[in-house]
């Protein structure tokens, strides 16, 4: 789960990590009142879940009050390109007092999958896309796995800072580590972490991603979820316990199991089409859940056909057939429906579909499915 910069900074404050003075603004009529209380220059930052907000025009500096009003007015309500949700309206801005920057660093703690541990990544190339830095000047990135005998100061001193600054950065690392573990964060990133002319170390940006599987023990984090950032179909699916991801193609698909769902998307591509979605209905779905899943699937206006591919182990084919039949009867659907069922009770399932009087194309295996989809 992702949260906004302003929310991440609130968490930083709770853990004693310094951030600039800032205020959140959600309404146009509040812009002037808020700006009057703040020191100039200031930075105005769109609060959307997206990297590269600066490039998209969502982060701007203002030298004085008049300019700040103008900038804030232009960013609040603007449409910003966001990776997660396409074109995204900016509903919140963060107004932040300017900092006298001496140097910009990059600092993050992240779950390192290759080593199955938490890693610290630090670089003197702050404020830039860290993946670009890794590609172009890898010698400027220091990575260290965090184990029991971890001492961040050893690495930080190597980077050429004086003792005072090294100490301050190491302290921030320790606080970030505490946050990471206590809140089940998979990524905590400060880019840039700034050393000021007054020798302070301040987090100018903040990004935190949490482990979805651990949210059951973090109600306080769940409260930070911004539903407007999510695709509405995906959000609806989540609420119904379905694993759904909207994609750009035209063949809707419904599958049980994530691996088979991906393979089914691949099969659709082999047939010369693209999947409209990823949908894993899970192992124990009953006919009601199947019906809901089917409704969700076809509410996507881009689809021209639906391919149902079920390998029934725990999921019974008769439940599947019942759910699909009900959905189609109740919804008056006019797209082609292709069904491939294998496993538990597949004969009963096939009978339900055949007796329904509705139009299905039942295929016996994936190769036959490819042939049918190709002809759509």
Partner 1 sequence: MSIFINKKTRLIVQGITGKEGSFHARSCQEYGTQLVGGVTPKKGGEEILGVPVFNSVKEAINEVQADTSMIFVPARFAAGAIIEAAEAGIKLIVCITEGIPIYDMMNAKKAVQLNGARLIGPNCPGLITPNEAKVGIMPSNIHKKGNVGVISRSGTLTYEAVYQLTQLGIGQSTCIGIGGDPIIGTNFIDVLREFQMDSETKAICMIGEIGGSAEEEAAEYIKNNITKPVVSFIAGLSAPEGKRMGHAGAIIAGGKGTASSKMEALTSCNVTVCRNPANLGITIKNIIDKM
Catalytic residue numbers, as ranges: 106, 189
Nearer to partner 1, 35 or 48 (CB): 48
Interface with partner 1, residue 141, by CB under 8 A? no
* Backbone angles phi and psi of 299, in degrees to 5: -75, -10
Q: In terms of Cα–Cα distance, which of 270, 335, 263, 343 is closest to 299? A: 335
Judged by CB under 8 A, the residue of 258, 330, 347, 351 near partner 1 is 258
Nearer to partner 1, 160 or 216 (CB): 216
Q: What would the x/- binding string for partner 1 be over residues 61 to 100, using CB under 8 A?
A: ----------------------x-----------------
Q: Give the range of 25-33, 219-227, 290-298, 360-368 binding partner 1 by CB under 8 A.
A: 360-368
Q: In terms of Cα–Cα distance, which of 223, 265, 271, 219 is closest to 244? A: 265
Nearer to partner 1, 191 or 256 (CB): 256
Q: Give the range of 66-74, 97-105, 219-227, 239-247 binding partner 1 by CB under 8 A.
A: 239-247
- Signed CA dihedral, 206, 211, 212, 214: sign only: negative
Judged by CB under 8 A, the residue of 119, 333, 370, 376 near partner 1 is 370
Judged by CB under 8 A, the residue of 260, 333, 362, 376 near partner 1 is 260
- Is residue 93 a contact partner of residue 45, using CB atoms and an 8 Å limit? yes
CA distances to 16, 151, 220, 305 from 7, rounded to whole Å, are 14, 28, 11, 42
Instruction: Find the binding residues for partner 1 in span 278-337 (CB under 8 A).
Output: 278, 280, 283-284, 311-314
Judged by CB under 8 A, the residue of 236, 243, 302, 326 near partner 1 is 243
> Quick one: CA torsion of 187, 192, 196, 202, rounded to 10 degrees?
-30
Interface with partner 1, residue 270, by CB under 8 A? yes
Q: In terms of Cα–Cα distance, which of 289, 339, 282, 336 is closest to 309? A: 339
Interface with partner 1, residue 372, by CB under 8 A? no
Q: What would the x/- binding string for partner 1 be over residues 168 to 207, using CB under 8 A?
A: -------------x--x-x---------------------
Burial class (CB in 10 A: 0-12, 13-18, 19+), 26: exposed
Nearer to partner 1, 155 or 251 (CB): 251
Nearer to partner 1, 42 or 267 (CB): 267
Interface with partner 1, residue 163, by CB under 8 A? no
Judged by CB under 8 A, the residue of 269, 286, 300, 362 near partner 1 is 269
Gap between the Cα atoms of 46 and 92, Å rounded: 6
- Signed CA dihedral, 266, 271, 277, 283: sign only: negative
Judged by CB under 8 A, the residue of 86, 160, 162, 217 near partner 1 is 217
Rounded to the nearest whole angstrom, what is the least distance from the CB of residue 83 to partner 1 in the complex?
6
Rounded to the nearest whole angstrom, what is the least distance from the CB of residue 258 to partner 1 in the complex?
3
Interface with partner 1, residue 214, by CB under 8 A? yes
Interface with partner 1, residue 262, by CB under 8 A? yes
Gap between the Cα atoms of 98 and 96, Å rounded: 6
Rounded to the nearest whole angstrom, what is the least distance from the CB of residue 319 to partner 1 in the complex?
15
Kindly list the residues in this chain that would bind partner 1 in the complex (CB under 8 A). Answer: 83, 111, 113-114, 116-117, 131, 181, 184, 186, 211-214, 216-217, 243, 245, 247, 255-263, 265-270, 274-275, 278, 280, 283-284, 311-314, 342-344, 365-367, 369-370
């Amino acid at each position: 789960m992702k949260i906004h910069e302003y929310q991440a900074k609130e968490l930083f404050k709770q853990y004693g990590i310094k951030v600039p003075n800032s205020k959140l603004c959600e309404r146009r009529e509040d812009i002037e009142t808020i700006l009057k209380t703040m020191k100039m220059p200031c930075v105005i930052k769109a609060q959307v879940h997206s990297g590269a907000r600066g490039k998209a025009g969502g982060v701007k500096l203002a030298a004085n009050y008049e300019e700040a009003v103008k900038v804030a007015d232009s960013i609040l309500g603007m449409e910003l390109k966001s990776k997660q949700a396409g074109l995204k309206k900016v509903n919140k801005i963060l107004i932040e007092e300017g900092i006298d920057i001496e140097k910009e660093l990059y600092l993050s703690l992240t779950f390192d999958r290759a080593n199955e541990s938490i890693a610290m990544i630090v670089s003197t190339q702050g404020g830039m896309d860290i993946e670009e830095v890794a590609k172009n000047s890898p010698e400027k990135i220091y990575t260290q796995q965090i184990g029991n005998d971890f001492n961040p100061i050893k690495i930080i001193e190597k980077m050429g800072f004086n003792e005072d600054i090294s100490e301050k950065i190491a302290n921030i690392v320790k606080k970030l580590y505490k946050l990471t573990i206590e809140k089940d964060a998979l990524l905590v990133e400060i880019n840039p972490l700034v050393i000021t002319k007054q020798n302070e170390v301040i987090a100018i940006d903040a990004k935190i991603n949490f482990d979805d599987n651990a949210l059951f023990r973090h109600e306080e984090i769940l409260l930070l979820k911004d539903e407007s950032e999510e695709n509405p179909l995906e959000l609806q699916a989540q609420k119904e316990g379905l694993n759904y991801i909207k994609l750009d193609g035209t063949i809707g698909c419904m599958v049980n199991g994530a691996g088979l769902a991906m393979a089914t998307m691949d099969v659709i591509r082999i047939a010369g089409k693209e999947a409209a979605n990823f949908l894993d209905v899970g192992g124990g779905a009953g006919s009601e859940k199947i019906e809901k899943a089917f409704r969700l699937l076809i509410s996507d206006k881009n689809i021209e056909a639906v391919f149902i591919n079920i390998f029934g182990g725990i999921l019974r084919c008769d439940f599947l057939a019942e759910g699909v039949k009900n959905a189609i009867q109740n919804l008056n659907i006019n797209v082609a429906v292709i069904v491939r069922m294998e496993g538990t009770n597949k004969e009963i399932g096939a009978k339900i579909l055949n007796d329904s009087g509705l139009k299905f194309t039942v295929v016996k295996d994936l190769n036959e499915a490819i042939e049918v989809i190709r002809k759509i």
